[in-house]
Structure 1
Amino acid sequence: MKTVTVITLALLGAAACSQVTAQVPGVRRTDLLKHDSVVSGREVVEVRVEVDPGRGVPRHTHPGDEVLYVVEGTLEYMPDGKAPVTLKAGQSIFIPAGTIHAARNPGTVPGAGIATYFVEKGKPLIMPAK
């Protein structure tokens, strides 16, 4: 009974995460890879994120580390308590697990990045910040 409840909650959390991401106008996420890690209880998730000019994602966290490589345009990451970091194509950023941050495209052309997450398995990839 306990296992069924945990699985149901995990699936509902993943569905809510997908719905929240899908509801952000001007932001699209394409899942590229999801694979169990050799580290027990962890998985690697890779996505392509495309952000229209002037659009972005509100403050959120991830249940693990994030590495983002910008493949086109400009993306700005705004971690709570720190100065914003503006990245152009060819640049990367590391965001530690649990860091509250927002992101946006401050440019005039579409921006895109490849984000790789090393996260706790079974948790939603993105959680809105409180």
Structure 2
Amino acid sequence: MFDRRTLLRAGGTAAAGALGAAALTSAQQAAAAPLPAHGHPDGPVDPTDPTAGVTRTLLQQHPSPAKGWAAVQTLVQIPRHKQSGRHSHPGVEVGYIIRGDVLMEFDDAPALRLRTGDPFFIPSGAIHNALNVGTVTTMMLSTYVVDETKPLVTTY
């Protein structure tokens, strides 16, 4: 069995995705909403698409203690010079920059410069965009507490 901490530190994303899927029951996998993805960050990336290569790998999803809410955890990867695209979530996002440098832009708040090791918090419904301003593929661990009846990501 893989040690998830070691896997994330080493950047073993393919195995992390498989490990995350294995950790879900079949009912949880069926209930998990598909996450938008634009290809693999290590594969060919369309230079004209600012979100090409961005991936969100579902690691786990569980019911929250609060009825009607779910706790969801993802590994987000953003290739160099790419961005997540403007989006929001139907609940809070608590995150951690595993690797890389990000400019987290908000529609209604000042931008935040985040580097490897920085935590971040995004309020429910806040429209934001994560722009990779570093020299490597950025890896972010994002945990959400969201309304289980709504899609995890709404793009703008």
TM-score normalised per structure 1: 0.81
Distance, in Å, in 2 between the alignment partners of 1:68 and 1:30 is 14
**Offset at 1:110?**
1.2
- Residue 53 (str. 1) matches residue 80 (str. 2): yes
CA deviations 1:71-102 (Å, max 9, x no partner) are 01112210113221111111111100000111
* Structure 2 match to 1:7: none
Equivalent residue number for residue 110 of structure 2: 83
- Matched with 2:153 is 126
Which structure shows the higher strand fraction?
Answer: 1
The runs of 5 or more residues in structure 1 that have no matched partner are 1-10
Whether 1:104 and 2:131 are equivalent positions in the alignment is: yes
Matched residue SS, 2:86: strand
Paired position in structure 2 for 1:22: 37
Q: Specify the code of the residue in structure 2 equivalent to 1:110.
A: T
Moved more, 113-122 or 73-82: 73-82
Match in the other structure for 2:119: 92
1:39 aligns with 2:54: no
What amino acid sits opposite 1:86 in the alignment?
A: R
Quote the offset at 1:122 in angstroms: 2.4
Report if the CA contact (8 A) 1:75-1:112 is conserved: no
User: CA RMSD for the aligned pairs?
Assistant: 1.5
Give unpaired runs (5+ residues) of structure 2: 1-29, 39-50
Deviation at 1:52, TM superposition (A): 0.6
Using the alignment, how far apart are the partners of 1:104 and 1:43 within structure 2?
27
Following TM superposition, by how much is the alpha carbon of 1:43 offset from its aligned partner in structure 2, in angstroms?
Answer: 0.5
Task: After TM superposition, give the deviation of residue 64 of structure 1 in Å.
Answer: 0.2
Residues in 2 aligned to 1:42 and 1:63: alpha-carbon distance in whole angstroms: 10
Q: Which has the higher contact order (CA 8 A, sep 6+)?
A: 1
**Identity rate of aligned residues, in percent?**
36
Equivalent AA in structure 2 for residue 37 of structure 1: S
Q: Tell me which stretches of 4 or more aligned residues in structure 1 moved more than 6 Å.
A: none
Q: Residue deviations 1:97-127, cap 9 Å, x none? A: 0001111101111110100000001210000
